[in-house]
Amino acid sequence: MIEVSNLRKYFGSVKAVDGVSFRAEDGKITGLLGPNGAGKSTTLRILYTAFKPDAGTALIDNLDVTIDKLGVRSSIGVLTHGAGIYERLTAYENIRYFGELHGMSGKELKMRIGQLAELLEMNDFIDRRSKGFSQGQKTKVALARALVHNPKNVLLDEPTNGLDIMATRGLREVIQRLKDAGHCVLFSSHVMQEVAALGDEIVIIANGTVAASGSPEQLRADTGQTNLEDAFVKAIGSEEGLI
C-alpha cells in the first residue's frame, strides 16, 4: 500500500511536484495520469527513493521513503522509464542479477525466474543476449527484473511506452494478474485510454498537483461529464499534452 501526502519537490524555481497526495491500495491498480512534465515521474522517483522530497511524506507499506530507503526498495518492484537492461547479458542473467541484489540465490531464484518467464512469455529468448531485443522483449525483461523478488508494491513508469499493440495487450494482462494476486500496482501514463482501461483508481496530475482523483465513475460524476476524455480535460484545464 502506498500513501502519499502533500509531497513537494522543487528543482530550483521549477515546482515539479507541488503538494501531491493520494493512496494506492493493495489489490488495486492505481494510474497516475497527466501530461508530460506534470510531475508523474518525479513522484514515482520519490517513491522509489531516487529523489528526496522537499516536503510531505510518502509511505510504502508504512515505511517512510526518506527514512528506511533499503526497506522501501526491498518492498517495491520498479519498471523505470525506458527499460535499461544490460545488452551484453542474457535476459536470464539480467533478471538473476537483480534477484541476487535482493538477496535471492540458488533454486529459489531459478524457480522464480522460471515462473516469470512463463508469466511474461519470455521462454524463447530467455537465454539470448539482450542486444537486438525488440522494445517489447526489453520491457518484458525489465518487468521480470522488477518482479523477481515478488514485491508487494509494483511501480511502473510509462510501461507501455514504445510497445506495439500486442505487447501492450500482454502487459495489461500481466498487470491485471498482479492485481489479482493482491499487489499494489501504481503506474504512470499520459495515455488516457490506457489508464481508463486499467486503472481502478485514477490520479490526475497536472502542474505538480493532483487535479482530480477517484475511480473512473467517480471522476465522470465529479466533473459532470459523461465522457471520460472530457472529464480529464476539464480536470486539468487544458488539452495540451494529452493523447
Partner 1 sequence: MHTRKISHLSSLWTILRKEVVDNARDRRTLTTMAVSIVVFPLLMFGLIWFLDKTVKEETDLVNAPALQLPVVGAQYAPNLVKWLTQNNIEVIKPPADPELSISKGEHRVILFIRADYPESFRNGATAPLRLIHDSSITGLEKIGFNTVQGAIQAYSGQIASLRLSARGVNPEAANPIRINLSDVASPQARSGQFLTMMPYLMIMFIMAGGMYLAIDTTAGEREKGSLEPLLTQPVKRHIVLLAKLGATIVFSSLTLLMVLTGLGLAFEYMPVDIISISVGIGKIATIFIACLPFVFAGCALMVLVASFTKSYKEAQSYLGMVMLVPTLPLMSLAFMSPEPSISNMWVPALSQGMIIIETLKGETVALELIGLSMICSTILAAALAWVAIKLYQRERILG
- Contact segment (CB under 8 A) with partner 1 among 12-20, 46-54, 188-196, 234-242 equals 46-54
The residue within the footprint of partner 1, chosen from 14, 64, 67, 84 (CB under 8 A), is 84
To the nearest 10 degrees (0 to 180), the angle between helices 135-147 and 91-101 is 20
Listed as own residue / partner, the contacts of 175-178 with beta carbons closer than 8 Å and 24 or more positions apart are 175/29, 176/29, 177/119, 178/147, 178/154
Packing angle, helices 106-119 and 135-147, rounded to 10: 140
* The binder of partner 1 chosen from 5, 36, 55, 87 (CB under 8 A): 87
Cβ proximity to partner 1: between 93 and 222 the closer is 93
Asked if residue 85 binds partner 1 (CB under 8 A), the reply is yes
Least Å distance between CB 243 and partner 1? 22
Q: Closest approach of Cβ 149 to partner 1, in Å?
A: 8
Run of H or E including 136: helix 135-147
Contact call for residue 190 and partner 1 (CB under 8 A): no
32-67: string of b/e by CB count within 10 Å (b at 16+)? bbbbebbbbbbbbbbbbbebebeebebbbbebebee
CA dist., res. 24 & res. 16, Å (int): 21
Q: Which is nearer to partner 1, 9 or 190 (CB)?
A: 9
Residue 198 · residue 187 · CB < 8 Å? yes
Nearer to partner 1, 47 or 236 (CB): 47
Q: Which of 4, 30, 43, 51 binds partner 1 (CB under 8 A)?
A: 51
Q: Specify the residue, 1 or 233, whose C-beta has the smaller distance to partner 1.
A: 1
Indicate whether 137 belongs to the interface with partner 1 (CB under 8 A).
no
Instruction: Kindly state the number of chain residues that form the binding site for partner 1, as judged by CB under 8 A.
Output: 39
Which of 51, 77, 74 is closest to 63 using CA atoms? Answer: 74
Decide if residue 112 touches partner 1 (CB under 8 A). no
Candidates 144-152, 169-177, 191-199, 209-217: pick the segment binding partner 1 (CB under 8 A).
144-152
Question: Which residues between 152 and 181 bind partner 1 (CB under 8 A)?
Answer: 152
Q: For residues 95-126, b (16+ Cβ closer than 10 Å) or e, as one string?
A: bbebbeeeebeeeebeebbeebbebbebeebb
- The binding site for partner 1 (CB under 8 A) comprises 45, 48-52, 70-71, 73-76, 78, 80-89, 93, 97-98, 100-104, 129, 142, 145-146, 149-152
